[in-house]
Structure 1
Amino acid sequence: MNQNASNQNASNQNILQPTNVVARGTATSRDEAIREAGALLVASGAVRADYIDSMFEREASVSTYMGNYLAIPHGTNKAKESILRSSLSIVRYPEPIDWNGKPVRFAVGIAGLNNEHLQILSKIAVVFSDQSEVQRLLEAGSSEEIFTLLEEVNE
Protein backbone atom coordinates (compact mmCIF):
# COMPACT_ATOMS: atom_id res chain seq x y z
CA MET A 1 0.00 0.00 0.00
CA ASN A 2 1.44 3.38 -0.89
CA GLN A 3 1.86 6.16 1.68
CA ASN A 4 -1.05 8.19 0.26
CA ALA A 5 -3.50 5.29 0.53
CA SER A 6 -2.28 4.63 4.05
CA ASN A 7 -2.86 8.26 5.06
CA GLN A 8 -6.30 8.22 3.46
CA ASN A 9 -7.29 5.15 5.47
CA ALA A 10 -6.03 6.69 8.70
CA SER A 11 -7.91 9.92 8.06
CA ASN A 12 -11.16 7.99 7.69
CA GLN A 13 -10.70 6.29 11.06
CA ASN A 14 -9.10 8.86 13.32
CA ILE A 15 -11.04 11.83 14.56
CA LEU A 16 -7.81 13.60 15.50
CA GLN A 17 -4.98 13.69 12.97
CA PRO A 18 -1.49 15.11 13.53
CA THR A 19 -2.03 17.66 10.75
CA ASN A 20 -4.97 19.13 12.72
CA VAL A 21 -2.84 19.99 15.76
CA VAL A 22 -1.11 23.38 15.91
CA ALA A 23 1.22 24.16 18.82
CA ARG A 24 1.51 27.90 18.16
CA GLY A 25 -1.70 29.41 16.86
CA THR A 26 -1.54 32.89 15.36
CA ALA A 27 -4.98 34.19 16.38
CA THR A 28 -5.16 37.03 18.90
CA SER A 29 -8.96 37.26 19.22
CA ARG A 30 -11.85 34.88 19.77
CA ASP A 31 -13.12 35.29 16.20
CA GLU A 32 -9.68 34.69 14.71
CA ALA A 33 -9.33 31.57 16.90
CA ILE A 34 -12.69 30.21 15.71
CA ARG A 35 -11.62 30.85 12.11
CA GLU A 36 -8.23 29.18 12.72
CA ALA A 37 -9.76 26.04 14.30
CA GLY A 38 -12.41 25.90 11.57
CA ALA A 39 -9.89 26.33 8.75
CA LEU A 40 -8.05 23.21 9.95
CA LEU A 41 -11.29 21.22 9.75
CA VAL A 42 -11.90 22.55 6.22
CA ALA A 43 -8.30 21.88 5.09
CA SER A 44 -8.49 18.28 6.33
CA GLY A 45 -11.63 17.66 4.27
CA ALA A 46 -13.86 17.09 7.30
CA VAL A 47 -16.22 20.01 6.67
CA ARG A 48 -17.20 22.41 3.89
CA ALA A 49 -16.14 26.04 4.27
CA ASP A 50 -19.65 27.17 5.27
CA TYR A 51 -19.27 25.17 8.50
CA ILE A 52 -17.10 28.01 9.87
CA ASP A 53 -20.08 30.39 9.53
CA SER A 54 -22.14 28.03 11.69
CA MET A 55 -19.35 28.01 14.29
CA PHE A 56 -19.82 31.79 14.58
CA GLU A 57 -23.63 31.32 14.80
CA ARG A 58 -23.15 28.84 17.67
CA GLU A 59 -20.80 31.23 19.49
CA ALA A 60 -23.31 34.07 19.11
CA SER A 61 -26.02 31.99 20.79
CA VAL A 62 -23.91 30.40 23.54
CA SER A 63 -20.24 30.72 24.50
CA THR A 64 -18.18 27.63 23.80
CA TYR A 65 -15.75 28.49 26.62
CA MET A 66 -15.44 25.44 28.89
CA GLY A 67 -12.94 26.44 31.59
CA ASN A 68 -9.31 25.41 32.16
CA TYR A 69 -8.15 27.53 29.18
CA LEU A 70 -10.41 25.56 26.81
CA ALA A 71 -12.96 26.67 24.22
CA ILE A 72 -14.66 24.18 21.91
CA PRO A 73 -16.06 26.06 18.92
CA HIS A 74 -18.42 23.94 16.85
CA GLY A 75 -21.28 24.41 14.42
CA THR A 76 -25.00 24.60 14.92
CA ASN A 77 -27.34 21.64 14.47
CA LYS A 78 -28.50 22.98 11.11
CA ALA A 79 -24.90 22.84 9.83
CA LYS A 80 -24.90 19.03 9.85
CA GLU A 81 -25.02 18.88 6.05
CA SER A 82 -21.69 20.75 5.97
CA ILE A 83 -19.95 17.94 7.89
CA LEU A 84 -18.31 15.32 5.67
CA ARG A 85 -16.76 13.24 8.48
CA SER A 86 -16.14 13.54 12.22
CA SER A 87 -12.98 15.42 13.08
CA LEU A 88 -11.17 17.56 15.66
CA SER A 89 -8.75 20.43 15.34
CA ILE A 90 -6.62 21.65 18.23
CA VAL A 91 -4.88 25.00 18.32
CA ARG A 92 -2.77 26.06 21.29
CA TYR A 93 -1.98 29.74 21.79
CA PRO A 94 1.21 31.12 23.36
CA GLU A 95 -0.76 33.85 25.13
CA PRO A 96 -4.32 33.62 26.46
CA ILE A 97 -7.03 34.83 24.09
CA ASP A 98 -9.91 36.84 25.55
CA TRP A 99 -12.98 34.64 25.06
CA ASN A 100 -15.80 36.83 26.34
CA GLY A 101 -13.66 37.79 29.34
CA LYS A 102 -12.26 34.29 29.93
CA PRO A 103 -8.67 33.20 29.11
CA VAL A 104 -8.34 30.57 26.37
CA ARG A 105 -5.11 28.83 25.39
CA PHE A 106 -6.75 25.94 23.46
CA ALA A 107 -9.37 26.22 20.73
CA VAL A 108 -10.66 22.76 19.89
CA GLY A 109 -12.80 22.72 16.76
CA ILE A 110 -15.26 19.85 16.57
CA ALA A 111 -17.32 18.44 13.72
CA GLY A 112 -19.32 15.30 14.42
CA LEU A 113 -21.43 13.17 12.10
CA ASN A 114 -24.52 11.48 13.55
CA ASN A 115 -24.14 13.11 16.97
CA GLU A 116 -20.61 11.75 17.33
CA HIS A 117 -19.63 15.23 18.53
CA LEU A 118 -21.20 14.40 21.92
CA GLN A 119 -18.83 11.46 22.40
CA ILE A 120 -15.89 13.57 21.18
CA LEU A 121 -16.86 16.41 23.54
CA SER A 122 -16.97 14.08 26.51
CA LYS A 123 -13.47 12.71 25.76
CA ILE A 124 -12.03 16.23 25.47
CA ALA A 125 -13.84 17.33 28.63
CA VAL A 126 -12.31 14.45 30.61
CA VAL A 127 -8.79 15.44 29.55
CA PHE A 128 -9.31 19.15 30.26
CA SER A 129 -10.99 18.54 33.61
CA ASP A 130 -7.65 17.23 34.90
CA GLN A 131 -5.42 20.19 35.80
CA SER A 132 -2.23 18.12 35.49
CA GLU A 133 -3.22 17.05 31.94
CA VAL A 134 -3.87 20.69 31.00
CA GLN A 135 -0.44 21.60 32.39
CA ARG A 136 1.20 18.86 30.31
CA LEU A 137 -0.57 20.21 27.21
CA LEU A 138 0.56 23.75 28.01
CA GLU A 139 4.17 22.57 28.44
CA ALA A 140 4.25 20.32 25.34
CA GLY A 141 7.09 21.38 23.08
CA SER A 142 5.55 20.56 19.71
CA SER A 143 2.38 19.77 17.79
CA GLU A 144 3.48 16.12 17.78
CA GLU A 145 3.70 16.09 21.57
CA ILE A 146 0.24 17.66 21.91
CA PHE A 147 -1.11 15.06 19.46
CA THR A 148 0.43 12.23 21.49
CA LEU A 149 -1.10 13.57 24.72
CA LEU A 150 -4.56 13.76 23.11
CA GLU A 151 -4.39 10.73 20.83
CA GLU A 152 -6.68 8.77 23.16
CA VAL A 153 -9.65 10.63 21.65
CA ASN A 154 -9.21 8.34 18.62
CA GLU A 155 -9.99 5.24 20.68
Structure 2
Amino acid sequence: TTYIGKGIAIPHGENAVKECVKESGIVVLQYPDGVQFGDDKAYLIIGIAGRGNDHLAILANLATTMDEYSDEQLHELYTTKDPDVLYKVFTKVD
Protein backbone atom coordinates (compact mmCIF):
# COMPACT_ATOMS: atom_id res chain seq x y z
CA THR A 1 0.00 0.00 0.00
CA THR A 2 1.05 3.57 -0.55
CA TYR A 3 -0.99 4.88 2.36
CA ILE A 4 1.19 7.45 4.17
CA GLY A 5 -1.06 8.21 7.12
CA LYS A 6 -3.39 11.04 8.12
CA GLY A 7 -6.00 9.80 5.62
CA ILE A 8 -3.71 10.22 2.60
CA ALA A 9 -2.50 7.72 0.02
CA ILE A 10 0.02 8.45 -2.71
CA PRO A 11 -0.02 5.77 -5.43
CA HIS A 12 2.56 6.26 -8.14
CA GLY A 13 3.89 4.51 -11.22
CA GLU A 14 6.50 1.80 -11.27
CA ASN A 15 10.08 2.19 -12.45
CA ALA A 16 9.42 -0.08 -15.44
CA VAL A 17 7.21 2.57 -17.07
CA LYS A 18 9.09 5.66 -15.92
CA GLU A 19 10.41 6.40 -19.42
CA CYS A 20 6.80 6.67 -20.68
CA VAL A 21 6.09 9.72 -18.50
CA LYS A 22 6.26 12.79 -20.74
CA GLU A 23 5.63 15.39 -18.05
CA SER A 24 5.57 15.33 -14.27
CA GLY A 25 2.29 15.97 -12.53
CA ILE A 26 -0.18 14.96 -9.88
CA VAL A 27 -3.89 14.27 -9.67
CA VAL A 28 -5.83 14.72 -6.43
CA LEU A 29 -8.88 12.59 -5.72
CA GLN A 30 -11.07 13.52 -2.79
CA TYR A 31 -13.25 10.96 -0.99
CA PRO A 32 -15.11 12.76 1.83
CA ASP A 33 -16.45 9.44 3.19
CA GLY A 34 -13.09 7.72 2.71
CA VAL A 35 -12.15 4.56 0.83
CA GLN A 36 -10.33 1.53 2.15
CA PHE A 37 -6.65 1.67 1.33
CA GLY A 38 -4.99 -1.40 2.73
CA ASP A 39 -5.91 -1.55 6.43
CA ASP A 40 -6.60 2.19 6.57
CA LYS A 41 -9.08 4.67 5.19
CA ALA A 42 -7.94 7.34 2.72
CA TYR A 43 -9.78 10.61 2.12
CA LEU A 44 -7.26 12.09 -0.31
CA ILE A 45 -5.55 9.99 -2.95
CA ILE A 46 -2.77 11.80 -4.74
CA GLY A 47 -1.60 10.10 -7.93
CA ILE A 48 1.91 10.91 -9.08
CA ALA A 49 3.60 10.77 -12.47
CA GLY A 50 7.22 11.82 -12.26
CA ARG A 51 9.50 12.28 -15.23
CA GLY A 52 12.99 10.93 -14.58
CA ASN A 53 13.60 11.23 -10.84
CA ASP A 54 11.02 14.02 -10.32
CA HIS A 55 8.80 11.62 -8.38
CA LEU A 56 11.23 11.66 -5.47
CA ALA A 57 10.99 15.44 -5.12
CA ILE A 58 7.20 15.34 -5.55
CA LEU A 59 6.86 12.65 -2.87
CA ALA A 60 9.08 14.58 -0.47
CA ASN A 61 7.18 17.84 -1.05
CA LEU A 62 3.81 16.16 -0.59
CA ALA A 63 4.87 14.40 2.61
CA THR A 64 6.33 17.61 4.06
CA THR A 65 3.30 19.70 3.10
CA MET A 66 0.74 17.23 4.44
CA ASP A 67 2.70 16.83 7.68
CA GLU A 68 2.35 20.57 8.32
CA TYR A 69 -1.47 20.39 8.31
CA SER A 70 -3.45 19.95 11.51
CA ASP A 71 -6.24 17.38 11.70
CA GLU A 72 -8.79 20.20 11.32
CA GLN A 73 -7.07 21.54 8.21
CA LEU A 74 -6.86 18.07 6.73
CA HIS A 75 -10.56 17.50 7.41
CA GLU A 76 -11.28 20.67 5.41
CA LEU A 77 -9.26 19.26 2.50
CA TYR A 78 -11.15 15.97 2.76
CA THR A 79 -14.58 17.60 2.67
CA THR A 80 -14.35 20.94 0.85
CA LYS A 81 -16.59 21.42 -2.16
CA ASP A 82 -14.41 24.30 -3.36
CA PRO A 83 -11.79 23.01 -5.82
CA ASP A 84 -9.76 26.19 -5.31
CA VAL A 85 -8.99 25.13 -1.71
CA LEU A 86 -7.31 21.97 -2.98
CA TYR A 87 -5.75 23.73 -5.95
CA LYS A 88 -4.02 26.31 -3.74
CA VAL A 89 -2.53 23.61 -1.52
CA PHE A 90 -1.25 21.40 -4.31
CA THR A 91 -0.01 24.04 -6.73
CA LYS A 92 2.54 24.94 -4.06
CA VAL A 93 3.71 21.31 -4.11
CA ASP A 94 3.55 20.57 -7.82
Q: Pick the TM interval, shorter chain.
A: 0.7 to 0.9
- After superposition, what is the alpha-carbon deviation per residue over 1:75-118, rounded to whole angstroms, capped at 9, x for unaligned? 11111122111010001102111111201001100011110011
Distance 1:153 1:129 in 2: 13
Question: For 1:129, which of 67, 78, 82 is the aligned residue?
Answer: 67
- After superposition, what is the alpha-carbon deviation per residue over 1:105-140, rounded to whole angstroms, capped at 9, x for unaligned? 011000111100110111110122134242342243
Cα-Cα RMSD: 1.5
Identical-residue share of aligned pairs (%): 29
Task: Report runs of 4+ in structure 1 exceeding 4 Å deviation.
Answer: none
- For the pair 1:108 / 2:41, whether they are aligned, the reply is no
- For the pair 1:148 / 2:88, whether they are aligned, the reply is yes
Distance 1:95 1:117 in 2: 28
Q: Normalising by structure 2, what TM-score? A: 0.87
- For the pair 1:72 / 2:72, whether they are aligned, the reply is no
Give the paired residue count.
92
Offset of 1:144 from its aligned partner? 1.8
Distance 1:117 1:125 in 2: 12
Tell me what 1:89 maps to: 27
Distance 2:89 2:81 in 1: 11
Gaps of 5+ in 2: none
Larger radius of gyration: 1
Gaps of 5+ in 1: 1-62
| Structure 1 letter corresponding to 2:85 | E
| Structure 2 letter corresponding to 1:142 | D
The structure in which a higher percent of residues are strand is 2
- After superposition, what is the alpha-carbon deviation per residue over 1:63-83, rounded to whole angstroms, capped at 9, x for unaligned? 111101111111111111221
